[in-house]
Structure formats: structure tokens, C-alpha cells
Amino acid sequence: MTDTIMRTADRVIAATYRRFPIVLERGEGCTVWDTQGRRYTDFVAGIAVCNLGHAHPRIAAALARQARRLVHVSNLYYTIPQTELARMLVEQSFADRVFFGNSGAEANEAAIKLARKHFNDKGMPERFRIVCMEKSFHGRTMATLSATGQDKIKKGFDPVLEGFSFVPFNDIEALNAAIDDHTCAVMLEPIQGEGGVRCPDAGFLQRVRELCDQRGVLMILDEIQTGMGRTGKFFAHEHYGVTPDIMTLAKALANGLPIGAMLATEKVAAAFGVGAHASTFGGTPLVAAAALETLKIMVEEKIVPRALDTGNYFQEALNQLKLRHSCVAEVRGKGLLLGIQLNGPAEALVPVCMEKGFLVNCVQGDTLRFVPPLIIQKSEIEALIQCLDDVLTR
Ligand code: PLP
């Protein structure tokens, strides 16, 4: 059966993904099982998505309840789960208003459109350019790949959208020089996830905020990977004492159901009036109910401080690993968004860890990234460290 599934998938699904040769069919908490009955501790969590683990009983129940009641009606009408979700997000954040879509890319599309529209409405249509960071990742749609600072992702899709320029992450002088009278926004991730788990230098995000204020441009933070407790704060920007004008969320927001959200202050959101933007499935009752239950669990069970504590423990263990293995160049990250950069290629270690019962992932070719569910236990982390110890010794 396993071979048939893999052969069929390789024949009928677009060949855009390189997949590992296992078929996953079931999950519970931080564990997933494949069709051969092998179990894996999941340090990928659907790429920083399933923060509360797999098959969470409360989320499953909320979904079933909502599925029996109302799945979808469009945004021609008010619905209860979407309204409550937006209210909770506003209460948890700097923002006054939320626009819902279905993915990270769609949330970033909304952010890019809003930044342009904001200045257009102020009679400054020439302010449409956005300064982004090298090694950033914002998505795969035409606008979001145009905003992404990685050539390999853009290859073959020229011409990309006009109006995006790039400066090195952490280079405030370059950013200052790149902002001009045509700039509407600076767009960045607080910690670059796909770029190799790269943290901002001390003071960088504060300087970005100051620069945006001085030069009258908007600050857009892409918290699609870093948000929802991943780094040990509800939103990563809380570590750095700044608030953006626009923030995007997706990934973990509904613990695995597809959702994206663009949050903004009232002043900026005002540019999104009736008809300015839309999405058929945006904030549909079913997905909103899952997100709402996810948020309630996170608050009630104090998941975010727990992620900080577990993340600190994990990072310390990785630092110890670095002391024992000279092939580990650097340990990076915050909370449960962690990475170890090796002094050489790291890709080959992923199937070796899988063989030993651990799902981990590799970014930028040389960095192993760990983004487990936020409910991961210290004992599960210890087991992974033991595995890495063996693998790196070899
Ligand atoms: N922005 C960041 C920071 C991401 O990490 C990702 C996905 O990895 C995206 C945007 C794109 O999200 P999606 O794949 O849901 O479109």
C-alpha cells in the first residue's frame, strides 16, 4: 500500500515537492505514525503549524461541532466564529482590525496591497515601493515572491512585480539608504525562519521602527512563522519592544487548518474600505472555529510561557551539543524556533534522524531547524539530543 501511494502521488500530483519516502497517516500530540506503523517524534509540526500537537481533542470537537452547524457562507454575511476570532486577535495584539485569508502568502499579499493603498488614499501613489530583507521569505504568489530575498525562489518567474528592493538583514545603514520618497513600507520577519533561523541583532528592530517613524513609512512584520507563541512570546516583536503598523499571521493560527490573517492599526486599516480586497474562504466559520479554540487553549493552558521555558531548555541542550561536536558552527533562534548550523551540508542528516524516529527539517542546506509543537516535553527533547549526538558523532 505504501509503495502504491508514493508511486501514484509521484504520477498525479504536481512535482513541486521533494518528499521523504514515508506515508504519514496518523498523529497524536507530538507523535506521528506512518503506514508501516513506525512512529516519529515530530520536530517539524507541519513546518511550525501544529503548535498544540496532532489530533488535539478540543480542536477536533470544535471542528466537528462547527461542521454540523455552519461551514461556509461567504463574507456577504456576518458570522460568529470569525467575529470572535478577530476580537481575540485584536485583544492579544497592537492591532485594531483583521483581514482574513487562507495562507501566509495571502496574508502578505493583503499587507502589500494595504501599504500601497494607504499612500494612494493619501494622494501619494508614487509611494509604492517596499524595502525587504535579503534571505527573507514571504511566500510563493507573484507579489510575495517579489518581496522574497532569495533568488532561487524567483528563478524562472521574471518579470517579478515592480517595487521591491533588498538590504542585508541587520544592516540599518543600508536600510536607511534604501528608503526614499517612493517607499511605502519596510517589510521583514522578526526572526528569519526559512532564511536559516536568523535573529535580529540587539537594537535592530527598534532602529527599524525609529527609521520608519522618521521617514514616514509603514513597518510590516511577517510573523507567519514567528507568531502564535512560537518564540516564547505571543508575537516575536514583543521580545524587542516594538510594534509594527501591519502584521501577518498564518501557519499555527488554526493549528493546521488553512488560515491567514493581516492585522493593522485603525489608521492604516482605514485604506481597506468596502470592495478594496476580498477572499471567498477568508475567515470561514469552520476554520475560524478551529483558530478560536486554538487561541482559547493557548491562553487557558499558558502555552506561550511554557514554550519559552521549554525553548530555553532545548537551546541550552543544543549549545551543549555544540561543545561536544566541532561540526556544529552555531546554535540560533528563540523559544521553540531553533536551528543548528553545521560547518557543511546538513540535508543528509534529515533521513538519518528519520530512521531513528525523529522528524527534523533542513533550511538553507546547512542548518537543521527544530519547530516542534509548543507542547513538546523535555523528555522528547532529550531523546532528540541523544539522537543528534549519535548522528553527529558518525
Ligand atoms: N512568510 C513566512 C515568514 C513563512 O515562513 C512562510 C511559509 O513558510 C510564508 C510567509 C508563506 O506562507 P504560506 O506557505 O502559508 O503561503
105 lines ligand 1 (CB under 6 A): yes
pTM above 0.85, yes or no: yes
222 lines ligand 1 (CB under 6 A): yes
119 lines ligand 1 (CB under 6 A): no
pLDDT at 274: 98
Q: Closest ligand 1 atom to the C-alpha of 103?
A: 15
Whether the Cβ atoms of residue 262 and residue 223 lie closer than 8 Å to each other = no
pLDDT at 306: 98
Position 153 confidence tier, pLDDT thresholds 50, 70, 90? very high
**Using one digit for the tens of pLDDT, what is the confidence trace for 156-184?**
999 999 999 999 999 999 999 999 999 99
The letter for the amino acid at 274 is V
Whether the Cβ atoms of residue 154 and residue 145 lie closer than 8 Å to each other = yes
- Comparing CA positions, the residue from 170, 169, 171, 167 lying closest to residue 130 is 167
Position 39 confidence tier, pLDDT thresholds 50, 70, 90? very high
225 lines ligand 1 (CB under 6 A): yes
**Using one digit for the tens of pLDDT, what is the confidence trace for 125-138?**
999 999 999 999 99
192 CA → ligand 1 middle, Å: 11
Higher pLDDT, 262 or 1: 262
**Using one digit for the tens of pLDDT, what is the confidence trace for 362-393?**
999 999 999 999 999 999 999 999 999 999 99
Burial class (CB in 10 A: 0-12, 13-18, 19+), 178: middle
Best of 194, 361, 369 for a ligand 1 pocket test (most atoms within 8 Å of beta carbon): 194
Per-residue pLDDT averaged across 142-164, rounded?
97
Per-residue pLDDT averaged across 251-268, rounded?
98
Q: Which residues contact 164 (CB under 8 A, 6 or more apart)?
A: 129, 130, 131, 132, 146, 147
104 CA → ligand 1 middle, Å: 5
Angle at 238 between CA 233 and CA 239, to 5 degrees: 80
Q: Closest ligand 1 atom to the C-alpha of 193?
A: 5
195 lines ligand 1 (CB under 6 A): no
324 CA → ligand 1 middle, Å: 34
Specify the 3-state DSSP secondary structure of 334. Answer: strand
Specify the 3-state DSSP secondary structure of 341. Answer: strand
Q: Closest ligand 1 atom to the C-alpha of 108?
A: 10
Domains in the chain with CATH codes: 2-55+302-393 (3.90.1150.10), 58-300 (3.40.640.10)
389 CA → ligand 1 middle, Å: 31
Position 242 confidence tier, pLDDT thresholds 50, 70, 90? very high
Share of the chain above pLDDT 90, in %: 99
| Whether pLDDT at 102 is above 90 | yes
361 CA → ligand 1 middle, Å: 15
pLDDT at 372: 98
224 lines ligand 1 (CB under 6 A): yes
Return the number of other C-beta atoms located less than 10 Å from residue 152's C-beta. Answer: 7
137 CA → ligand 1 middle, Å: 7
Protein residue closest via CA to atom 14 of ligand 1: 104
375 lines ligand 1 (CB under 6 A): no
Per-residue pLDDT averaged across 151-159, rounded?
97
54 lines ligand 1 (CB under 6 A): no
Best of 153, 224, 369 for a ligand 1 pocket test (most atoms within 8 Å of beta carbon): 224
Position 394 confidence tier, pLDDT thresholds 50, 70, 90? confident
Distance (Å, whole) CA 14 – CA 16: 6
Mean pLDDT computed over every residue of the chain: 98
110 CA → ligand 1 middle, Å: 13
194 lines ligand 1 (CB under 6 A): yes
- Just list the catalytic residues: 137, 222, 251
193 lines ligand 1 (CB under 6 A): yes
Whether the Cβ atoms of residue 113 and residue 142 lie closer than 8 Å to each other = no
